Structure 1
């Protein structure tokens, strides 16, 4: 099997980092939390409650793309947690190499709000609405797997394995 990188995507609070790390661990793949690749200026803006724009995200997406490209060039499977909110961002990440796939974790608004209020993170709950306004859920032609972020992690892992094996899956 050729090297593959899975981008676990979704808004802040969706569980993409937690699930991405669990997926990487279960498959014995490398993991990168995209939050760790943000330039300091982006982290400062978010801490101040200022939403990022496309110009802010560009250098961050470049770093995520570089990580993906490096994994694929070294023939290593990987998982990266990255919000990838817009189709154009996902297209940019896909250009990093031949086998980049997306797993979108969809979570209801109230649950996202609850999760964000319960954690200590640079991304304040006040930025959730701007992320949801920016979010373009993956379209059918993007070949992304959509998961229900309320489901148990074991169920999510099983769904990803079936998807990777080419089995038909229900829409979340």
Structure 2
């Protein structure tokens, strides 16, 4: 099984993803851990990442799915084209989309 746990920042991707992985005895990866240093630096400075910034990172996550026989990855993957990159050569990818109310997400960012 290959599972993507997606949603906005603060929705619980890492927590839920790690619990799904534990319950199914799969490896868990937090997609943020795979960002290149240039992306980390931009985010640290509060500069939003562009689609171009994300291309290499999403390619790396796609490779993780290909190299791991089964895994759970937490990644926002908010745009359809991001999910398309993650699905490439991973047709059986299961996507879990986490959502929360505005107030819940807002309070998690305080």
Give the shorter-chain TM-score range: over 0.9
**TM-score normalised by length of structure 2:** 0.95
Uncovered stretches (5+) of structure 2, i.e. residues with no partner = none
For 1:138, the equivalent position in structure 2 comes to none
For 1:49, the equivalent position in structure 2 comes to 46
Deviations 1:33-65 (A, max 9, x none): 101001111111111111111011111101100
For 1:151, the equivalent position in structure 2 comes to none
Aligned equivalents of 2:4, 2:89: Cα separation in 1: 12
SS in 2 for 1:51: coil
**TM-score normalised by length of structure 1:** 0.62
Is residue 2:63 matched to residue 1:66?
A: yes
Is residue 2:16 matched to residue 1:19?
A: yes
Is residue 2:78 matched to residue 1:85?
A: yes
Where in structure 1 do 4 or more consecutive aligned residues deviate above 2 Å?
A: none
Distance 1:59 1:96, change over 3 A: same
CA RMSD of aligned residues (A): 1.0
Aligned equivalents of 1:113, 1:43: Cα separation in 2: 22
Conservation of the 8 A alpha-carbon contact between 1:66 and 1:96: no
Conservation of the 8 A alpha-carbon contact between 1:32 and 1:79: yes
- Give the structure with higher Rg (CA): 1
**Residues paired across the two proteins, number:** 110
